[in-house]
Chain A
Amino acid sequence: MNYSQFFAMLPEITLLAVFVTIFIFDLLATGRYRRIFHTLTILLMTAQIAICLKEVSTEQTLFGGMYYSNSMIAFMKSMLTFGALLVVLQAHRWLSTSHSYYKQGEFYVLLLSTLVGMYFMISARHFLLLFLGMELASLPLACLVAFDKYRHNSAEAGIKYILTSMFSSAIMLYGISFLYGTAGTLYFDDMATYITGSPMQTLAMVMFFAGLGFKISLVPFHLWTADSYQGAPTIVTAYLSVISKGAAVFTLFIILTKVFAPMTDEWQTMLYIVTVASITIANLFAIKQKNLKRFMAFSSISQAGYIMLAVISGTAQGMSAMVFYVMVYIVANLAIFGIIEALEKHYDNVELEHSHLNALYRSNPRLAFLMTLALFSLAGIPPFAGFFSKFFVFMSAFDAGFWVLVFIALINTVISLYYYLLIVKAMYITPNETPIPHIKCDSFTRISLGFCLMGIILLGICSFVYINIDRMAF
């Protein structure tokens, strides 16, 4: 038998090698070797990013069309790995605490296995591979959400996540089974020729969309989001909110444009309603949240709605706008979660609320400044990357003819500015005699926050980033 095809999918193989290395290291290493564990993981993941970036120049189809990789997909993989690396960098303090230091290896292994799942998800050109990738990405995530074994909220969030995840993947599979019944194949390319837009296929598409909509947490399928985000450990929330969402959005885009291309009118109508609902409802709910992580959950639902503006266009321009948006979203959101994680150092088992941030700038001027930049970027204020990403997303939807949708999204940007500025106001204006004492971040967190800061400032100004992404689209 010829195994050369396995070695052709280099990023997956090397990531599996990293996974196995860390797993064995966790089993065997003792004493002083464990102290380099975190550094070792970071180095291996950096090497993994380099390998993914090397793959950008190749385009290949393997296993009779089940697996496909081109420059855009390889770039997306390296971006997801980079996001995961930022998360791991921020995790150092949390992993050194007394109740999780002995689970350090498990955290890396679970995180990397979700990453393998996401790789397969975005490379899949066959529904079976897509399904396996999705489950590989979501099952270990449930374990990560319930990672703090002795905390009630973590267990509660974990069970809510796994049950809703099973429910939605069952609905998605039911949809795929109807697609299979009508087309007789599970390959994306072959299936596209059998899609005619019959009622059964429309039903199948809606059910399939429900499964992915759950992972992206769009509005009718968002009810798990706030609870799981609040209960999960902050590091896991950060991972859940950007990386797993980014992979799911990319997959959705590929399937809508490849498989359901003949039904463009149907899914555009569907996405239209879902987009308006997610942006508006999430904004209204975010305004009244007091808990910071819950607030970020609703903010992420509304950001997912903005990403849908790029998906709805279904063009190459939409794809580059989407990838750019996800990239900017990764750095901005991880900056905020990194700061929340750093602040939680002083509040063991207390969930941070807006009022905890009062007058933060007096004791922690740098953290407050970075948080402000990240919030401005999420809201889309001009000099920062978030403005440009929102601009490209609006452009792509506008060029596809969705003027009203863009208008609604623009109004919602103003609403979102209000609740993002509430935090800035708490940090700079609200008087407080006893702000959080000065916090000294560990060096890993500093590196990660430094990357985020660079991303927020530079990604928008350096136009070659977007131009290069645009060149790779489709």
Chain B
Amino acid sequence: MIVPAEFYLILATILFFIGVFGFFTRRNLISLLVSTELMLNAVDINFAVFNAYSHPEQLEGFFFTMFGIGIAAAETAVAIAIIINVFRNVKSIHIKNLRNLKH
């Protein structure tokens, strides 16, 4: 039996909005990073599903997924590096300590 495409799309939507929710409610930089990763993964699922179910004759969606995973990894690497730098300066990665820049 074949799982209908809608199931995957609903999964991706739920995953995406868990990420959005986490981004707005979490107070720890690492959790924020994890939330954005969830959003990017939801996008990858979307591309793969659309490719497999709607346009199986070409592989553009899968290619996009692979590049998306690569870029997400690069983004995480840069973000982690900056988070480490924040930790060295502030001795904490909680958002409440990042309040210098506001007026």
- A residues sitting closer than 8 Å to B (CB atoms) are 127-128, 131-132, 135, 139, 142-143, 146, 149-153, 155-160, 162-163, 166-167, 169-171, 173-174, 176-178, 180-181, 184-186, 226-227, 230-231, 289-291, 294
| Given A142-B82, A146-B85, A170-B19, 4 additional A-B pairs, CB 8 A | A152-B90, A156-B100, A226-B101, A227-B102
CB pair B78–A162 under 8 Å, yes or no, is yes
Max chain A C-beta neighbours (<10 A), residue from B40, B82, B86: B82
List 19 A-B residue pairs with CB atoms under 8 Å apart, sorted by A's residue number. Answer: A128-B64, A131-B68, A139-B74, A146-B82, A150-B89, A153-B100, A155-B90, A158-B85, A159-B29, A160-B101, A163-B79, A166-B79, A169-B75, A173-B40, A176-B64, A177-B46, A181-B50, A184-B54, A294-B103
Which residues from 39 to 75 on chain B have a C-beta closer than 8 Å to any C-beta of chain A? 39-40, 42-43, 46-47, 50-51, 54-55, 58, 60-61, 63-64, 67-68, 71, 74-75
Interchain CB contact under 8 A, B64 and A180? yes
Chain B residues, CB < 8 A from A159: 29, 79, 82-83, 86, 98
> A180 with B78: in contact, given A131-B71, A167-B36, A231-B101 (CB under 8 Å)?
no
The interface residues of chain B, by DSSP majority, are classed as helix
Distance of A183 from chain B, by nearest CB (Å): 9
Nearest CB of chain A from residue B86's CB, rounded to whole Å: 5
Chain B residues, Cβ within 8 Å of A157:
101
Task: Give the Cβ gap from A384 to chain B, nearest Cβ, in Å.
Answer: 30
B33 contacts the other chain (CB 8 A): yes
Known: A170-B39, A180-B50, A230-B101. A135 touches B64 (CB 8 A): no
Q: Which residue of B lies closest to A140 (CB)?
A: B78
Once the chains are docked, how many angstroms separate the CA of A184 from the CA of B49? 12
- 7 smallest CB-CB distances across A and B, nearest first, come from A170-B39, A177-B46, A181-B50, A184-B55, A227-B101, A173-B43, A166-B36
Query: A287 CB to closest chain B CB, in angstroms?
Result: 13
Contact (A149, B103) CB under 8 Å given A156-B98, A163-B79? no
CA distance A353 to B1 in the complex (A): 68
Which of B55, B71, B74 has the most CB atoms of chain A within a 10 A radius of its CB? Answer: B71
- Minimum CB–CB distance from A193 to chain B (whole Å) comes to 15
Contacts of A131 in B (CB 8 A): 64, 67-68, 71
Nearest CB of A to B90, in Å: 7
The docked-state distance in angstroms from the alpha carbon of A57 to that of B47 is 38
Contacts of A158 in B (CB 8 A): 82, 85-86
With contact pairs A180-B60, A231-B101 given, residues A155 and B43 touching in the complex (Cβ less than 8 Å)? no
Q: Which of B42, B61, B74, B75 has the most CB of A within 10 A?
A: B75
Q: Give the docked Cα–Cα distance between A358 and B39 (Å).
A: 48
Please indicate the chain A residues that have their CB under 8 angstroms from the CB of B39 in the complex. Answer: 167, 170-171, 174
Q: Please, which residues of chain A bring their CB within 8 A of the CB of B83?
A: 159
Cross-interface CB contact of B67 among A132, A143, A169, cutoff 8 Å: A132
A290→B42 CA distance, assembly (Å): 42
| Closest CB in chain B relative to A181 CB, distance in Å | 4
Note all chain A residues with C-beta closer than 8 A to B29: 159, 163
CB distance from B28 to the nearest CB of A (A): 12
Q: A159-B86, A166-B75, A167-B39 are in contact. Are A174 and B60 (CB under 8 A)?
A: no
Q: Report Cα–Cα, A89/B79, bound state, in Å.
A: 29
Asked whether, in the complex, the Cβ of B86 is within 8 Å of the Cβ of A156, the reply is yes
Do B78 and A143 have beta carbons less than 8 Å apart? yes
Contacts of B64 in A (CB 8 A): 127-128, 131, 176-177, 180, 186
Q: Is the CB of B67 within 8 A of A128?
A: yes
Q: Which residues of chain A are within 8 angstroms of B81 by Cβ–Cβ distance?
A: 143
